[in-house]
Amino acid sequence: MMRSLLLLLTLSLIMGCAQTSELLESEEQEKAPEPKMIGSIQQMEPELSELLDVNARPEVIGEGYEWSEGPVWVEEHQFLLFSDIPNNVIHKWKEGEGVTEYLKPAGYTGTEERGGELGSNGLIIGNDGSLLMAQHGDRRIVRMDAPLTDPKPNFVTLADRFNNKRINTPNDLVQHSNGSIYFTDPPYGFEQRGNDPAQELDFQGVYRLSPSGDIELVTDELYRPNGVALSPDEKTLYVGNSGREEPIWLAFDVAEDGSTSNGRVFLDPQKVVDQPGGPDGMDVDTEGNIYSTGPGGVWVISPEAKVLGIINIDRPTSNCTIGNDGKVLYITADDYLLRLSLK
């Protein structure tokens, strides 16, 4: 009898250990993988510590795109939209769901096959809650004529001509509370860039689309106008000029009616770091600090043009936007979508 009991206890222990081992293996398999982190943060001024953790690193939350751009946070629905320009698609990222296709075609609706950067670029949520975008392929600023939660490639043209000539390939945009839309118009969406026979204007402009639908020229003196943003009080318009000629940030005074004046150099990155690259997309926080892509990654700049630091990214960096009620910076960089917590 005693031997039988001992045998039963031994078998029970063996089976229990096996079950425990299987349970541990199952739990390990169910554990989420460690997040993929890249880059580093270069602090230049102590004020940077008030905005973010200087020891943090950007987290990869999406990858595999040909050239990611134009991120915008949709606060109402708690998701992020961003463009993959060469693939003519807008993707959506949502916590817990990851990245899914949101809209295709996004920037080129023609039937003729073409290459180059043909998709949408800059995206914003307009004053009326609709999705506004800069389309490279169709060469226009448009509004998506569909709910944000049920996207369709139905577009209403807001701007596509200046002085009876087709604009180039709009790149980025921002909207004033009075309805004015400021946008940049470099030739990046042309298949032959600045030497494309389809180009009708002989300059690369920055424009204001007034609430009445008129298009005014802010400046025609930039080589490659790119990112654009407004200060929180809407009294200053920031424009990034990318490309090899004068890669600088500019600032313009904005009047109450939306008109601009007093264009001037805001910051020259070449006077701060000796490395190639120029300003691209940007966003501004509620305190007026500017987060703009530039040489090396994302520059954090005070309203007084003091460089607080650089979020170094291991690859070309195109754009960024602030989301989650000011708590997260989302970054598009080459084939990556990244995020970094803010304070």
CA distances from 167 to 140, 141, 181 (A): 7, 10, 15
Q: Is the pLDDT of residue 17 over 70?
A: no
| Beta carbons within 10 angstroms of residue 197's beta carbon | 8
Mean pLDDT score of the chain: 92
pLDDT of residue 7: 41
Q: Is the pLDDT of residue 53 over 60?
A: yes
pLDDT of residue 162: 98
Tokens (6 digits) for 279: 């300003």
Q: Is the pLDDT of residue 23 over 70?
A: no
Average pLDDT over residues 228-248: 95
Average pLDDT over residues 281-293: 98
Average pLDDT over residues 279-284: 97
pLDDT of residue 261: 98
The DSSP annotation for 122-189 comes to EEEE-TTS-EEEEETTTTEEEEE-S-TTS--S-EEEEE-EETTEE------EEE-TTS-EEEEE-STT
pLDDT of 192-230, one tens digit each? 887 888 899 999 999 999 999 999 999 999 999 999 999
pLDDT of residue 116: 86
pTM: 0.91
pLDDT of 107-138, one tens digit each? 999 999 988 899 999 999 999 999 999 999 99
Q: Is the pLDDT of residue 2 over 70?
A: no
Q: Is the pLDDT of residue 28 over 70?
A: no
| Beta carbons within 10 angstroms of residue 149's beta carbon | 9
pLDDT of residue 5: 44
pLDDT of residue 14: 40
3-state secondary structure of 199: coil
pLDDT of 130-172, one tens digit each? 999 999 999 999 999 999 999 999 999 999 999 999 999 999 9
Buried b (16+ CB within 10 A) or exposed e, 130-139: ebbbbbbbbb
Tokens (6 digits) for 191: 């298949």
pLDDT confidence band for 59 (50 / 70 / 90) = very high
pLDDT of residue 115: 85
68-285, superfamily in CATH? TolB, C-terminal domain (2.120.10.30)
Q: Is the pLDDT of residue 29 over 70?
A: no
- Residue predicted with more confidence, 178 or 244: 178
**Rounded Cα–Cα distance for residues 58 and 293 (Å):** 14
pLDDT of residue 258: 96
Report the residue count for the chain.
Answer: 343
pLDDT of residue 13: 45
Q: Is the pLDDT of residue 46 over 50?
A: yes
Q: Is the pLDDT of residue 21 over 60?
A: no
pLDDT confidence band for 8 (50 / 70 / 90) = very low
